[in-house]
Amino acid sequence: MHLTATTPPVPVLRLLGMLLALSTGLGVWLVAPTPVRAAAAAHYPAQAVGNDISFPQCGRDYPDDPAFGIVGVTGGRAFTGNPCFRSEFTWAHRAGSHASVYLNVNYARPEYQSFAAHALQGPAGGCEPSQNPCTAYNYGWNAAADAVSRARDAGAEPAMWWLDVETANYWADPPHLGLNALVIQAALDMLGSHGMSAGVYSINEMWARIPGRDYRPGVPVWYAETDPAAGNASAPHYCDPAYAFTGGAVWLVQWTDGVDHDYACRFAASPPAPVPGGCLLPQPPVCLALSLPSPLPHPRREP
C-alpha cells in the first residue's frame, strides 16, 4: 500500500474541532464523532521502523526483521480479501511489537453489486436504494464488519486497525463529501463498538477530497510521505501536527523504495475512550445503536 507522490502545500492548521455539519447540500448532521479507543503507543516503539505488506506481496519474500508489521486484510477495496493474509499476519506477529492490520474503505455506486449487497441493510436500518446517509453508514459499518470477520477467520487478533482512505477507490463526488465522512465514521464506530483501536491512513490532500478537511474524528494518523524518495531521513517531518488531518496525532509515517517502510513518531498520549451511540438528524432522527451481537455476523462477500 502506497500513495502517489505529490508536492505538499504549505500546511494550514484548521482548529475547527469535531465535524458538525457534514454537508450543507445534504442537510445531514451527525453528532460530534467520538474517537475510537486508541492503542498504547508502545505498539510502535518511538523512532523504530517497521513494514506493511498485503496482497501484492503474495508469493514474494516478506521484509526481514521489522520492528513491527502491518498487514492488509482486504484486497484493495472493501468486501475483498487478501489471499495471503494468514501467512502475512504470522510474519507481522513474529515482529518485535504487536501486529496491526489495515482495511480498505470506500463507498459504492448504486449500480454496483456491492451497494445492493452491503448498503441497503445495517445498523441505520433499511435504506432507499440511492446514495444517502442511511446507505453510507450501513456500507461503512458492514465493510469494517466484513474485514473483522476475515481477520477472525484467520485467527488474527490485531493490536490496531487502520482504515486505508485513498482516492484510488470510489467515493461520492462534491458536494456530497458528507456521505464519505459517514462511511468512514461508521467503520470507526463498528470497530470502536467492539473495543478495537483504530486510526486512518491517508494524506492531507486525499482527506480533503474524500470526507473534507472539516471532518476530524480525532483518531491516530498513519501518514504517507508525499516525497517518498526522501525516505527515512524526512519521515520525522511528517510527524508534525500539520499532517494530523483527523485531529488526532500522527503515529506513523510511510515511505516506499519498492518495499513499504513505516517510521514510528514520538507519541505518548492516548485519545479519550468513545461514548457509544450516534444520531443522524433531522428528518426524522435516526439513532444508531453502535453494537452488534457477539460473535460478529458474516456479511455477504463479493467473489
Looking only at the bridges linking them, the beta strands covering 250-256 and 221-224 are parallel
Contact status, residue 33 vs residue 187, Cβ threshold 8 Å: no
Q: Average pLDDT, stretch 10-25?
A: 27
pLDDT of residue 38 exceeding 90:
no
The answer to whether residue 5 scores a pLDDT higher than 90 is: no
Q: Output the pLDDT for position 159.
A: 92
In sequence order, the 6+-apart residues with CB closer than 8 A to the CB of 186 are 123, 136, 137, 138, 139, 140, 141, 144
- pLDDT, residue 98, reads 81
Q: Is the pLDDT of residue 27 over 50?
A: no
Residue 270 scores a pLDDT above 90: no
pLDDT of 108 over the 50 cut: yes
CB 279 within 8 Å of CB 289: no
| pTM attached to this predicted model | 0.79
Among 3-7, 153-157, 200-204, 256-260, the minimum mean pLDDT is found in: 3-7
Give me the CATH code for the 21-288 domain, please: 3.20.20.80
DSSP strand E in the chain: where? 21-23, 28-30, 49-53, 69-72, 100-104, 161-164, 198-202, 221-224, 250-256, 260-264, 278-281, 286-288
* Of the candidates 164, 63, 50, the residue with the CA atom closest to the CA atom of residue 104: 164
Edge-first strand listing for the sheet containing 28-30: 21-23, 28-30, 278-281, 286-288
Domain coordinates in residue numbering, the chain: 21-288
